Structure 1
Amino acid sequence: MANKEQTTHVNHQILGKKTELYFAILCGVFLFIGFLIEKLTGLADWMSLLSYIISYCFGGYFITIEASKKIPKGEFDIDFLMIAAAAGAAYIGSWAEGALLLFLFSLGHALEHYAMKKAKKSIEALGNISPKTALIKRNGKLEEVSIEALKIDDVIIVKPNTKIAADGIIISGSSTINQAPITGESIPVDKTFIENTTNLPEFKDIDKTHVVFAGTINGDSSIEVLVLKLTKDSTVSRLINMVSEVEAQKSPTQRLTKKFEKWYVPIVILVVILLCFAFLIIDESFNTSIYRAITVLVAASPCALAISTPSAVLSGIARAAQKGVLIKGGKALEDLGEITTIAFDKTGTLTEGKPKLTNLIPLKDFDEEALAKLVLEVESLSNHPLAQAIANDLKIKYSIEFHNNASNVNAIQGKGIQAKYHGHKVFVGNVKLMEDSGIIVDDTIRSKMDDLLQHGHTVMLVAFKTEIVGLISVMDLPRKTATSTLKRLKEIGIKHMIMLTGDHQNVGNAIAKQIGLTEAKGNLLPEDKVEAIKLLIKRDKKIAMVGDGVNDAPAMALSTVSIAMGAAGSDVALETADVALMSDKIENLPFVIGLSRASKRIIKQNIFISLGVVVLLVPITILGLTNIGVAVAFHEGSTIVVVLNALRLLRYKIH
């Protein structure tokens, strides 16, 4: 019953989208009427027979259409087995049992397609989240155009409480954007305009506070957005395309059950044909042999097995999509459910990805505020990202008034910067810069530096005139949610959590200790990370790697499951990762792994239920110990149980 041709249900929707379900119900209604006429009234037999025949027509309609498309190709699947069983039941006069078989089978069929549609609904809804038109600013005038007509560098006006029509950056206005349709974030995010639009970096590298995505919802303020991606290349369009490809990527269990089904169905048909002639060997009538053969046919059909894995996989993927996580197919879903080791990239994954001022330590005659003023004035004149980060943090922390007392800033490659402050020389940089400038770095200062370095800080010395007057330290700080996330991962069974970083080993060790990692490997080049992944796979068989999907592409490609964070807006991350967390939130990781484990558990339960029923029923029916009605009830009941069990994943919540 898995992977049915969906065109059947489009071309034959006589009573609308729920035609199949209505036909299954009508099959049951006429079965019940026929049973009542036969058992509780004295009406003629042809009346109950007519009711059963009508029941057959409704119950067998969709099944016959699907079977008839495959038989000419030499494909004999479960639909064929069910039609054969129902026809056989009619031949031996067991019309009620045959109608019951078709009722339960068609109901299971309808439930299966309902489960699939429900599972796809949240995914397919992505196609409807983008507006169809955009308000565009051209030649000083506003005009409404279709989103397909938008071009790169067009400026669109987004009114309050309306959907954004394209991926781009805000160039005028500030607002709060609801990004839930794309990233799954429950809380709206504050966004503001970008001041300089010349020489923009790649879309994925632009500060997220300026970036907006098609399909997200603007808040209470009007904004102007510069279009940076065409509609076909927008994040939401790429998501839709990838989700449509997900179904083709079958899980290992799914592939195994398909192989099993390919051999199993012909064997069942052969056994049933042989059982039809059992009367030639044992003392029984031809009708008894036929009855047993048909009962075995019902009992042996692997309906529940066929739907057990795809229904669970699709439900799991759909639930992930609701939370802003794209899982690319059943293989990624199943593999992730078996992971006990996770390797993490450091920068931007476990940490904020931005250096932050952590210490400002005055020495000699300088107090903290005087040192802060000196450093701010000097660093503000530098274009170096580290200098800009220090200056911004000093402004926020000390609320200093700017007086333009610094001048003549000169960057010295690999060492730091030199400038003048109140007419005197200032140096901000490493020990080598100080020594080359004839400034003494005594043991007390070196001891303070070493202490900070051991704890993962990057340290710079500040010299004024000819003396060192202070130390500054910066650090890429751990994400606020990193510690709680890693603790949660440990609780759900992740035994090894390793950080792979190009930073100094001291930096890795400090962060690992702070947030609760089991191990940190520092000083790694991209090729070293690949070797580290190889060693982890050799030790633990299957591992996941979490990164940005760009800088660590070789290592992520080698891992069993690659997980990209903040994939919204990153084409490379969406293309290369097996699992994409659309938001930049590491706290979604325990949910995804928990969901994968629940999916794996439900797949195992479904296979156990479906195979268990077949293993139990087949010997009993071959020995003639049960009738076709009991076989039908157990067999089709197991299919319905399996579908309902899979649907539980749509309500999954991590405990």
Structure 2
Amino acid sequence: MDAMRRWRRSNWFVPVVSGFLILASLSIEHLLGGSANIAIGPRWWVHAGAHVHGSGDVFTLANAFMFVASVVAGYGIVVKAFRALMVRFISIDLLVAIAAIGATIIGNFWEAAAVTFLFAIGHALEAGTMNKTRSALAALVAVAPDNAVVLRDGDQVEVPAGQVRPGEIVLVKSGAKVPVDGQVVSGTGAIDESSITGESIPAEKAASDHVFAGTISRGGFLQVMATGIGADTTLARIIHRVEEAQDAKAKTQAFIDRFSKWYTPAVMILALLAGLLTGDVVLALTLLVIGCPGALVISIPVAIVAGIGRSARNGILIKGGEYLETTAKISAVAVDKTGTLTEGRPVLTDVVVLQRDLLRRDVLRWAAAAEAGSEHPLARPLIDAAREEGVAPEGIPGAVTPVTGKGISAAVANRRVLVGNIPLLEEYDVVVESTAVAAVNTLASEGKTPMIVAVDDAVIGIVAVADAIREDASKMIRRLSANGVKKVVMLTGDTRLVAEAIGRATGIHEIHASLLPEDKLDAVAQLQNEGYVVAMVGDGVNDAPALATADIGVAMGAAGSAVAVETADIALMGDNLLKLPEAIRLARRTVNIMRQNIAIALITVILLLVGVFSGGVTMSVGMLVHEGSVLIVILNAMRLLRNSRNDTATSNTERSARNVVEASARSK
């Protein structure tokens, strides 16, 4: 009973029933030759049917089946057309409804049935395809965990995932889905995070690492403290974002929608004029059918949904159709250095002592004591190194004054300590000797970030930190160039010597160094003034002004970051630079398919119009060709869901690496 109810509600119920009735009509006509006659309806209708079908002055049983087929297939079309008219919108359904009703009135039952049947098939195909192109969203929903095993009063208790309480310990066993966002408190394991980041290689997890709901354990045993549950998980935010993105319209789609509002009435006027001038009602009705812009209307949304869905499956969240189109036009990419081109985990590399009566640990102690009150990313490696060498700062400094783009001033043990670059010391009227300047330049030319340490008015030494360049940074730049990006620009607050060292190692095209946040904004605006469509990649904090100014703002490593997922135009869920050129490539493929679909739709309508006026296209043939064009447009868009050759090569490499990781996990 339930199966029958589901079948009746399916998209294919109406086309199948209508098609069965059409086959029954054709079978009766063939087997009985139209001899099974019944008198149904008013005499004018009977005579009209007889005139068209040559079956005497009676309404045949074959015609009856054909009429019922047109009613079954056309009822929903007429209802949709009527509802659209109620809100003053002339829809495609109205064209088909008028044509089918007109064909029935003149007794052309075959044409009425064929037109409505084919249009119903088109609707079913469109609905099925949209569901198919939303497969990435369906896959995300499918990985949402149902249950969780939690520790309560020392016992393992299985509860629905949504009933886990923040702070509870969740047990994640091999092969199980992670039910919550959380932090590992004990254990080790390999977690398949492909549903979140698009990376197929399992990530090794240990204490203090973060895990995400919907990911899968491929080995090991973890105890996880729950921090995000239900709608507060990264997976839930991704699903919400993809839903919104797939429904958002691109500029081209908005144009097509406006075009169809004028196009559809124009087709109706053309059909009316053709009927009045030629006296041929069938010609007018045929024009209504072949003028349906169905393929044109579906050409954009089906491509957008497929493109955004495919991107989401690869760990790339694009905000909507408009941003997808803009991404396809990107011609310049601006990137921050720290955390983007580099790992974002700087370590102390050098301590240069510039006063004879001091030791290395003295310089490090003063620098770490001042940085204890700083939130700058370079503060952490100094404090960590000081702790390892036994000179960790005690407590926090007194007055702390961050100087944007220069460094920090702090009060430590009633002494003023400056840690930063040469402009910082000049601002505080501290003299920097030539030996210090030479040391700074040497360290910077090696790709390290030097910071001068001054106590009161005397320079006592230099500390330098370095951030390892990402292995895939140079590959990203090459791939961006291969995907049509003309210029890749580094925007950094670091010194020019450091920036140039990173630039040489990565092959960056242009370098802007020693920038303040507002300078980065100006640099992005300058690129736009030069005619570039600019994407800005940054961490969303000191890069916020530039991200907002750029045509496309890109957030990297957005897994777990609610702000990045919701606000970035593109969020790269994995901490993988190569996702950026992949996003641009997918966007360009999508836009190319959109253009191909528009061309297919317009060419089909033009050829059909020529065929109608030349007398070679009937109403049913016109609808058949029209629905064929819809199918071609759909199949063309669905190519986006298939892996390209580049994707296949990459996935094969990743699959091999994943097998190695899994084998390693099993051996443990």
TM exceeding 0.5: yes
User: Do 2:444 and 2:495's aligned partners in 1 also have CA atoms closer than 8 Å?
Assistant: no
Q: Percent identity?
A: 37
User: Do 1:130 and 1:164's aligned partners in 2 also have CA atoms closer than 8 Å?
Assistant: no
SS in 2 for 1:220: strand
Matched, 1:571 2:553: no
SS in 1 for 2:228: coil
| Cross-structure match for 1:646 | 637
Higher alpha-carbon deviation: 97-106 or 452-461: 452-461
Matched, 1:190 2:217: no
SS in 2 for 1:317: helix
| Cross-structure match for 1:101 | 115
User: Do 1:378 and 1:406's aligned partners in 2 also have CA atoms closer than 8 Å?
Assistant: no
Matched, 1:113 2:114: no
| Cross-structure match for 1:540 | 531
Matched, 1:234 2:233: yes
Residues 410 and 164 of structure 1: CA distance in aligned 2, closer, same or farther (over 3 Å): closer
Aligned residue pairs total 594
CA–CA distance in structure 2, aligned partners of residues 518 and 13 of structure 1: 64
CA–CA distance in structure 2, aligned partners of residues 506 and 450 of structure 1: 7
Residues 472 and 272 of structure 1: CA distance in aligned 2, closer, same or farther (over 3 Å): same
CA–CA distance in structure 2, aligned partners of residues 246 and 416 of structure 1: 45
Please give the per-residue CA displacement for 1:240-260, whole angstroms capped at 9, x wherever unaligned.
Answer: 222222244210011001111
User: Do 1:457 and 1:474's aligned partners in 2 also have CA atoms closer than 8 Å?
Assistant: yes
Residues 510 and 601 of structure 1: CA distance in aligned 2, closer, same or farther (over 3 Å): same
Please give the per-residue CA displacement for 1:403-459, whole angstroms capped at 9, x wherever unaligned.
Answer: x88799999997999xxxxxxxxxx999999xxxxxx9886x965653332343224
| Correspondence 1:281-292 to 2 at 5 A | 286=279, 289-292=280-283
Please give the per-residue CA displacement for 1:574-597, whole angstroms capped at 9, x wherever unaligned.
Answer: 121111111111111122111100
Residues 461 and 296 of structure 1: CA distance in aligned 2, closer, same or farther (over 3 Å): closer
Residues 334 and 616 of structure 1: CA distance in aligned 2, closer, same or farther (over 3 Å): same
CA–CA distance in structure 1, aligned partners of residues 287 and 584 of structure 2: 41
Scaled by the length of structure 1, the TM-score of the pair is 0.80
Residues 223 and 34 of structure 1: CA distance in aligned 2, closer, same or farther (over 3 Å): same
CA–CA distance in structure 1, aligned partners of residues 283 and 290 of structure 2: 10
Matched, 1:175 2:206: no
The match for 2:165 among 132, 137, 151 is 151
| Correspondence 1:131-146 to 2 at 5 A | 131-146=145-160
CA–CA distance in structure 2, aligned partners of residues 530 and 515 of structure 1: 23
User: Do 1:557 and 1:576's aligned partners in 2 also have CA atoms closer than 8 Å?
Assistant: no
Matched, 1:485 2:476: yes
AA aligned to 1:239 is: I
SS in 2 for 1:352: coil
The match for 2:547 among 556, 574, 580 is 556
What residue ranges of structure 2 are gaps of 5+ in the alignment?
A: 36-54, 401-406, 411-418, 426-431, 454-458, 647-668
Shift of residue 225 of structure 1? 1.5
Please give the per-residue CA displacement for 1:505-547, whole angstroms capped at 9, x wherever unaligned.
Answer: 2222221221122111112222111221211112125221122
SS in 2 for 1:112: helix
Matched, 1:312 2:300: no
Please give the per-residue CA displacement for 1:208-266, whole angstroms capped at 9, x wherever unaligned.
Answer: xx111111122432222222234222111212222222244210011001111112212
CA–CA distance in structure 1, aligned partners of residues 548 and 239 of structure 2: 23
AA aligned to 2:261 is: K
| Cross-structure match for 1:510 | 501
| Cross-structure match for 1:166 | 180
The match for 2:627 among 636, 639, 642 is 636
CA–CA distance in structure 1, aligned partners of residues 331 and 481 of structure 2: 9
AA aligned to 1:154 is: E
AA aligned to 1:335 is: T
Please give the per-residue CA displacement for 1:328-385, whole angstroms capped at 9, x wherever unaligned.
Answer: 111011111111111112221121111146679999xxxxxxx999999999999867
Residues 59 and 394 of structure 1: CA distance in aligned 2, closer, same or farther (over 3 Å): farther
| Correspondence 1:554-633 to 2 at 5 A | 554-622=545-613, 624=615, 626-633=617-624
AA aligned to 1:149 is: Q
| Cross-structure match for 1:224 | 223
SS in 2 for 1:648: helix
AA aligned to 2:594 is: I
| Cross-structure match for 2:77 | 63
Please give the per-residue CA displacement for 1:175-203, whole angstroms capped at 9, x wherever unaligned.
Answer: 21111111111011111113xxxxxxxxx
| Cross-structure match for 2:312 | 321
Residues 31 and 393 of structure 1: CA distance in aligned 2, closer, same or farther (over 3 Å): farther
Shift of residue 138 of structure 1? 3.5
Shift of residue 564 of structure 1? 1.1
AA aligned to 2:168 is: D
What residue ranges of structure 1 are gaps of 5+ in the alignment?
A: 1-10, 195-209, 280-285, 364-370, 396-401, 418-427, 434-439, 463-467
CA–CA distance in structure 2, aligned partners of residues 374 and 237 of structure 1: 50
AA aligned to 1:158 is: V
User: Do 1:595 and 1:652's aligned partners in 2 also have CA atoms closer than 8 Å?
Assistant: no
CA–CA distance in structure 1, aligned partners of residues 535 and 392 of structure 2: 50
AA aligned to 1:329 is: G
SS in 1 for 2:484: coil
AA aligned to 2:62 is: S
User: Do 1:354 and 1:476's aligned partners in 2 also have CA atoms closer than 8 Å?
Assistant: yes
Shift of residue 318 of structure 1? 0.8
Scaled by the length of structure 2, the TM-score of the pair is 0.78
CA–CA distance in structure 1, aligned partners of residues 608 and 83 of structure 2: 29
Matched, 1:83 2:97: yes
CA–CA distance in structure 2, aligned partners of residues 552 and 430 of structure 1: 20
SS in 2 for 1:478: coil
AA aligned to 1:585 is: N
User: Do 2:559 and 2:573's aligned partners in 1 also have CA atoms closer than 8 Å?
Assistant: yes
| Correspondence 1:296-307 to 2 at 5 A | 296-307=287-298
CA–CA distance in structure 1, aligned partners of residues 68 and 263 of structure 2: 32
CA–CA distance in structure 2, aligned partners of residues 155 and 354 of structure 1: 29
User: Do 2:371 and 2:382's aligned partners in 1 also have CA atoms closer than 8 Å?
Assistant: no
CA–CA distance in structure 2, aligned partners of residues 320 and 265 of structure 1: 34
SS in 1 for 2:548: helix
SS in 2 for 1:638: helix
Please give the per-residue CA displacement for 1:25-65, whole angstroms capped at 9, x wherever unaligned.
Answer: 44345435544654687343624324423432443354344
CA–CA distance in structure 1, aligned partners of residues 104 and 408 of structure 2: 91
CA–CA distance in structure 2, aligned partners of residues 522 and 533 of structure 1: 13
| Cross-structure match for 1:268 | 267
AA aligned to 1:250 is: K
Residues 572 and 235 of structure 1: CA distance in aligned 2, closer, same or farther (over 3 Å): same
Please give the per-residue CA displacement for 1:98-143, whole angstroms capped at 9, x wherever unaligned.
Answer: 3332233222211111111011232133233232332233444443
| Cross-structure match for 1:127 | 141
Shift of residue 629 of structure 1? 3.5
Residues 429 and 82 of structure 1: CA distance in aligned 2, closer, same or farther (over 3 Å): closer
CA–CA distance in structure 2, aligned partners of residues 530 and 151 of structure 1: 43
Higher alpha-carbon deviation: 163-172 or 228-237: 228-237
AA aligned to 1:347 is: T
Shift of residue 322 of structure 1? 1.0
User: Do 2:89 and 2:261's aligned partners in 1 also have CA atoms closer than 8 Å?
Assistant: no
CA–CA distance in structure 1, aligned partners of residues 23 and 500 of structure 2: 71
| Cross-structure match for 2:664 | none
Q: CA RMSD in A?
A: 4.1
Matched, 1:342 2:333: yes
